[in-house]
Amino acid sequence: MGFLQRLKDGLKKTKEGFVNKVSNIFTGRTNIDDELFEELEEVLIQADVGVKTTFTLIEKLKEDVEEEEITEPEELMEYFQKELKSLLQNDEGGFNLDNDLNIIMVVGVNGAGKTTTIAKIAGRHKEEGKKVMLAAGDTFRAGAIEQLQIWGDRLGVNVISQQEGSDAAAVAYDAVQSARAKDVDLLIVDTAGRLHTQTNLMEELKKVKRVIDREAAAINAGVEVLLVLDATTGQNAISQAKLFNDAVDVDGVALTKLDGTAKGGIVIAVKNELQIPIKLIGVGEAAEDLQNFDPEEFIEALFSNE
């Protein structure tokens, strides 16, 4: 099964919720009026698109009506899809792995799907012939090191770890040195799944990032920070993202569990409100269900009639 079909299947709840409600607004009337825009505004906000992004979309559509002299609601539906694509464009899915050593530091709260996301990224790049290493930098949560070690064994990749409760920055340091010595192409560093409100853990995260940046600069390694967000948490994910971004300058987002929400507008909100690229989206449990984000494919899958 191709990813577009997986995407269509995975976005079923969002199609049945958000997209059907939007479609009904455009197809259920004969003229474009204030009531149409008010209903659309309500549906978009309920679908986690966010107030700021909703207002942007509504204003754009009103401009389209004026400039293109649109009179039919169904024609406006086409412009709605175009405006969504426009908001999401310029997102380069996946990672820039052009250096001899490339480091992805993975951050996020517990329960967002951080560990399985790491395993899926590692598995995919190993299959592509890259030499991959994992670093068990979550020294805070009971069982986190063991969990990553199990994934490492399954995938056949080295895992650098210390004992539970040890200094996460020291793990990161060891991992970069080891990756360099072993000619690793991709090092993925796990971090403690902190709540964005846990100040001490956020400070530790900054320290881990400083160590990675310093060691990477010395050997010209590439560094990206990937934030894993659970799509089902809606607008709460936006608050998390803002705080993580303030702490460690997030380079991209992996949006997981999109198959578990009927809202789905969070994809648009993350991109528009935070200006952080969506790198990966997850629409299921299988390794193939985590893929590079493609705005065209995403909108096509959302609005397809299948």
Binding-site residues from annotation for GTP: 108-115, 190-194, 256-259
Q: Can you list the pairs that 39-42 forms with residues at least 24 positions away whose Cβ atoms lie under 8 Å?
A: 40/80
| Dihedral angle of Cα 113, 170, 146, 95, to the nearest 10 degrees | 40
| Exposed e or buried b per residue across 217-249, where buried means at least 16 C-beta atoms within 10 angstroms of its C-beta | eeeebbbbbbbbbbbbbbbebbebbeebbebbe
Q: Closest Cα to residue 152, out of 188, 194, 203?
A: 188
Binding-site residue numbers are 108-115, 190-194, 256-259
Question: Would you call 150 exposed, middle or buried from its count of C-beta atoms within 10 A (0-12, 13-18, 19+)?
Answer: middle
Using DSSP's 3-state secondary structure scheme, residue 203 falls into helix
* DSSP letter for each residue of 119-140: HHHHHHHHHTT--EEEE----S
> CA quadruple 176, 179, 185, 190: dihedral positive or negative?
negative
Contact assessment for residue 111 and residue 232, using Cβ atoms and an 8 Å cutoff: no
Contact assessment for residue 139 and residue 165, using Cβ atoms and an 8 Å cutoff: yes
How many CB atoms sit inside 10 A of residue 265's CB? Answer: 26
CB contact set of 154 (below 8 Å; sequence gap of 6+)? 119
